[in-house]
Structure 1
């Protein structure tokens, strides 16, 4: 699979990747907003790069920050600050140098992609559009930058994330790349058709996300096996007991550790300690994965997850969305809500972890199960990173099966099924269990390689990356035109967009000449539409 350009709505400093480009000026010092974002990662003290002679002469514009924590993405400072009259090509050249220097450095050091990704991921902002001098010409930067990054991703065989926390800039970059299948050559026709269908569902406001643990893997979260081993050692288990622990199921493993911790303490105290240890392990993860960022940008107001972590919520906040977390942090007026079926690390005392917790689930969380059932009946649920082996979900789904009216729900077609499951590999037995309920979409058409070895790790990484590509293509088809009437993005408009923008502007000029028409009841609806298209024209 060739390298790819991902368009990301979020916070550059929170994206898990191999390298960040941090904008700076000729002094090699980022602006205060950037230094504030990074300072907490190094305990408040951070030494940026030392300018070289080549840097001072202007023949080198990108420097590696050497003194940095190895478990974090590596920052590189890039001189992309100039005056408004500077040609757009100068800014684009700075981005090119970043990609070239970082890829050369990664290969010279033999550094593998972070967190088991199939390819290195390099992240950069839409350079020059904040303090770099070209803010009022953001569209011109986007128009020139996107095709160059697409070419470099293929030529250097790396993944590139162009990141913006500004909704209009993000929408403009998506539009510049477009939604032609040729931009995603690694997606076959079936995956592309499925994306078309899901994009239509999302555009109608009927898409609900169900996120499982698989989504968080590339963020560097500990896997269940490693987490259980660490917890067991903390509880005082020896090597023989660790071997016996592996023979138990996941729920019974957690319960066995909890029982060991109960020695000399109250049962509830051991529960709190176990939850606190899990919360502590998850808190060490700095940022969210690319998959979190892509999912967070989808137009889905309702999200369900079995994950304890808060990475999806962080990705949503970085994309400008407020999140209400059910059941422990609900609030009104949020952009979306996230239902945490098994609890959250922010409330470790109530994490659903052991078999006992699962058995008591219905008694304690009936209202949550009711919400899931209602969404399964009324919306189309998209399952990502979820094995569908959760006992609680089986009970909920069975209640939905019994509630559905056969005459109104044709289970022989995707329309009649209550959801779509995105799976990394074809799993005929498991998928047959849900064949009448879910439309299965596999990133690989064959089962995964047996065992745990280099070959199987590579296959899993490539399948996970294809899922990222699929989500990226889905986003490209759910984009907006929020930049259309904003003057900063005039340079990114196509000929047809510019023609439409001109006609709408003439209409607005007519309204300004006769503002009395704004008293008509219909004006507030027109005004809301114009705002969604980037009006009013403010810098």
Structure 2
């Protein structure tokens, strides 16, 4: 049973996983960014620069599990990445990479009864070890070239999945370049590999938009529509007969009855609490990494925008924020838990789609007419989606209209020929696996497909001006980088000219750190959790 290595832009502290590797040194001091992961009883002192832990190494040991935590919580592992012998060159990198190998072996010894939230395989997450205090910050490119094969070997040997979690755009671009040179990085059937290549090309051309359904958030422990109704029913005090009858009603009608029993205020309060900020799933992070500007979701939770914010992408959340030119946006089609009055749940609220919510439908109409929409985590049974697809179909079949291509791709977990046939005029439906495949295995294959799509759609130039990746450049690229650095040095500080702004934006996309003011946090400095700030922005 071979595991897979994912490369993802995310905040490691907020990513749903089973185990986390944290870099440290022989004094067992870690940077302050990891503080909220640590049990209080192992912390002996802390200051703005770091946290000291009251633990101890055994002789020669480089990996130490942090004790404490509740049953079922993810395992936290300390890895010594600070070389006291101050090795040079290849020896130093070999020593760092050996630490990752030892860590994966240690993690494999911990018994896990079931992966988090029903995932098919255990997920172990780590940063690029050694690029902070460890001394490899100036050799990131070479480190990634050495580290990724070791992670693949560990995933193959131990059978779990590994997520290499990176923060900076230069890091992501460089890691994806390394992986593109190794086509065996993804164990995908040929038709899924071809699909990833096609969608990746659309994303690079700016032709792709993403639709995120409830199935994506289920991997973060949030309820599906049916599970939410069952949870609400449990709060009503209805007798068993009525609860059994609820299950036989259409979902929107069951929701209407529950809203009447609980009261609208109680229902809104529960949705706000249940779908508030929290940890996001691997699929959320992979989707947020895609170079697309338009996202749509029927989910109430903020996990897509949190995942995007953690890599420096500030999504405008429509209709609550104002859309701005050049700023990516996320449309909340069924409302937002941060704005409980906007939640769409009952039959009556669905029927209002032709009235007050017609403008929101129009946004998705536009995307289906002008983009290729990638649908992830939805069964396409939602009444709103069916209505919108019908309206778009009617528009493009007007007399005199040219034949149209299908306007989207639906990624489903398992094969459902009847549903695929039903939607074939509007979208292509691609199943991850045959109908008899366990859903968790199919969901994992979907994550692998998204990982491949992210790699193939990532521009291969995002590290060109980052000195830490100079060792990865060809001679031709070094010459170009040297010329661009001359331009970089000529960009005036604080300039307001639109022309200067265009040039600075280009240099940032090519990995310039000098022009990156206001961009994402440096790769080694995970910023403080953004939950409160994001909520305040959206509530305002």
Common fold: TM-score over 0.5: yes
Q: CA deviation at 1:12?
A: 0.4
Looking at structure 2, the residues matched to 158 and 420 of structure 1 have their Cα atoms a distance apart, in angstroms, of 29
Q: CA deviation at 1:254?
A: 1.4
**Which residue of structure 1 aligns with residue 102 of structure 2?**
97
Looking at structure 1, the residues matched to 66 and 383 of structure 2 have their Cα atoms a distance apart, in angstroms, of 48
Which of 126, 130, 133 is matched with 2:132 structurally? 130
Which of 269, 286, 310 is matched with 1:276 structurally? 269
Looking at structure 2, the residues matched to 514 and 209 of structure 1 have their Cα atoms a distance apart, in angstroms, of 38
Using a 3 Å threshold, how does the CA distance of structure 1 residues 92 and 368 change in structure 2: closer, same or farther? same
**Which residue of structure 1 aligns with residue 441 of structure 2?**
462
Superposed CA offset, 1:477-534 (max 9, x none):
112221123221123x1xxx3212332245458879999xxxxx99987775454333
Question: TM-score normalised to the size of structure 1?
Answer: 0.85
Using a 3 Å threshold, how does the CA distance of structure 1 residues 399 and 105 change in structure 2: closer, same or farther? same
Count of residue correspondences: 496
Question: Structure 2: which 5+ runs fail to align?
Answer: 44-52, 492-497, 516-521, 523-540
**Which residue of structure 1 aligns with residue 430 of structure 2?**
441
Preserved contact between residue 410 and residue 417 of structure 1 (Cα < 8 Å): no
Q: CA deviation at 1:179?
A: 5.6
Structure 1 residues 523-532 or 161-170, which shifts more?
523-532
SS of the residue aligned with 1:325? strand
Preserved contact between residue 353 and residue 361 of structure 2 (Cα < 8 Å): no
Looking at structure 2, the residues matched to 92 and 287 of structure 1 have their Cα atoms a distance apart, in angstroms, of 28
**Which residue of structure 2 aligns with residue 16 of structure 1?**
16
Does 1:370 find its partner at 2:347? no
**Which residue of structure 2 aligns with residue 322 of structure 1?**
314
Structure 1 residues 428-437 or 232-241, which shifts more?
232-241
SS of the residue aligned with 1:23? strand
Which of 470, 486, 491 is matched with 1:490 structurally? 470
Q: CA deviation at 1:209?
A: 0.5
Preserved contact between residue 20 and residue 124 of structure 1 (Cα < 8 Å): yes
Which of 81, 106, 113 is matched with 1:111 structurally? 113
Structure 1 residues 193-202 or 172-181, which shifts more?
172-181
Preserved contact between residue 147 and residue 177 of structure 1 (Cα < 8 Å): no
Looking at structure 1, the residues matched to 57 and 487 of structure 2 have their Cα atoms a distance apart, in angstroms, of 57
Q: CA deviation at 1:235?
A: 1.6
Which of 390, 398, 401 is matched with 1:398 structurally? 390
Using a 3 Å threshold, how does the CA distance of structure 1 residues 409 and 158 change in structure 2: closer, same or farther? farther
Superposed CA offset, 1:219-277 (max 9, x none):
1113444432332222211233222222222212211111212xxxxxxxx21210211
**Which residue of structure 2 aligns with residue 230 of structure 1?**
231
SS of the residue aligned with 2:13? helix
Does 1:502 find its partner at 2:478? yes
Preserved contact between residue 27 and residue 51 of structure 1 (Cα < 8 Å): no
**Which residue of structure 1 aligns with residue 74 of structure 2?**
73
**Which residue of structure 2 aligns with residue 121 of structure 1?**
123
Preserved contact between residue 179 and residue 477 of structure 1 (Cα < 8 Å): no
Question: TM-score normalised to the size of structure 2?
Answer: 0.85
Does 1:477 find its partner at 2:477? no
Structure 1 residues 116-125 or 1-10, which shifts more?
1-10
Tell me the C-alpha RMSD between the 2 structures.
2.7
**Which residue of structure 1 aligns with residue 6 of structure 2?**
6
1:30-45 alignment runs, 5 A limit: 30-35=30-35, 37-38=36-37, 45=40
**Which residue of structure 2 aligns with residue 244 of structure 1?**
245
Question: Structure 1: which 5+ runs fail to align?
Answer: 262-269, 450-455, 516-520
Which of 297, 300, 313 is matched with 2:289 structurally? 297
1:293-442 alignment runs, 5 A limit: 293-330=285-322, 332=324, 335-404=327-396, 409-411=402-404, 416-442=405-431
Looking at structure 2, the residues matched to 476 and 277 of structure 1 have their Cα atoms a distance apart, in angstroms, of 38
1:164-179 alignment runs, 5 A limit: 164-178=166-180
